[in-house]
Amino acid sequence: MAKRYWLMKCEPSAYSISDLARDGETSWEGVRNFQARNLMRDEMSLGDPVLFYASNADPSGVSGLATITRAGYPDTFAWKQGHKYFDAGSTPAAPIWFMVDVGFVEAFAATVPLATLKATKGLEDMKVVQKGSRLSVQPVTKQEYDIVVRLGRKTRKTVENTA
């Protein structure tokens, strides 16, 4: 299957690219949106590249790169009574929610802010730059992915050069 490219959002107060750098790998549980669920369950494959997006951050934007280390499997947190991701409707026999595992690839020295994404040619079709887009797992094109990676590494050079 052809490699696909993704953007995944997370609030840094919950989990940041630094946390991922420290852990190396993490499970991506707790997604409770059907569209995002379908993407994780059906479309993500091992090794797919991921833009790691920090939402509700200062600034919000892409803070680094990750990769899918395990394709979609049932979200076991949905079965844990009392857990914040518990959902009585989901059972091991008939799981409703799915998650993937994500591995650390690279942390940008500085976040590529949403404003920069919005202002960059070639990214105008990204879901994340569109008003009111709340989907926490989004497909991106290879072209979009490459542009964002370039922006992220440019940021790093700038920081290094001025350090």
Partner DNA sequence: GCCAACGTTGGC
Binding-site size for DNA (CB under 7 A) equals 19
Smallest separation, CB 131 to DNA (Å): 6
Binding DNA by CB under 7 A: which of 33, 45, 91, 158?
33
Please give the C-alpha separations between residue 163 and each of 21, 35, 111, 156, 157, in angstroms, as whole numbers.
22, 43, 17, 10, 10
Cβ neighbours around 98 below 10 Å, total: 23
- What token pair was written down for 142? 């290879």
Residue 160 Cβ vs DNA, minimum distance, rounded to whole Å: 26
- Indicate whether 34 belongs to the interface with DNA (CB under 7 A): yes
Site for DNA in 35-64 (CB under 7 A): 35, 55-57, 60
Compute the least distance from the CB of residue 137 to DNA, in Å. Answer: 9
Cite the DSSP H helix spans in the chain: 17-23, 34-38, 114-119, 142-162
Of residues 97-156, those binding DNA (CB under 7 A): 114-115, 128, 131-136
Distance between CA 73 and CA 37 in Å, rounded?
Answer: 10
Q: Within 13 A of 56's CA, how many CA atoms are on the CB side? A: 10
Q: What is the dihedral of CA 79, 81, 85, 88, to 10 degrees?
A: 60
What character string, x for contact with DNA (CB under 7 A) and - otherwise, covers 11-30? x-------------------
Nearest distance in Å: CB 14, DNA: 10
Provide the minimum distance between the beta carbon of 48 and DNA in the complex, in angstroms, as a whole number.
19
CA distance 122 to 36: 24
The contact set with DNA (CB under 7 A) reads 9, 11, 32-35, 55-57, 60, 114-115, 128, 131-136
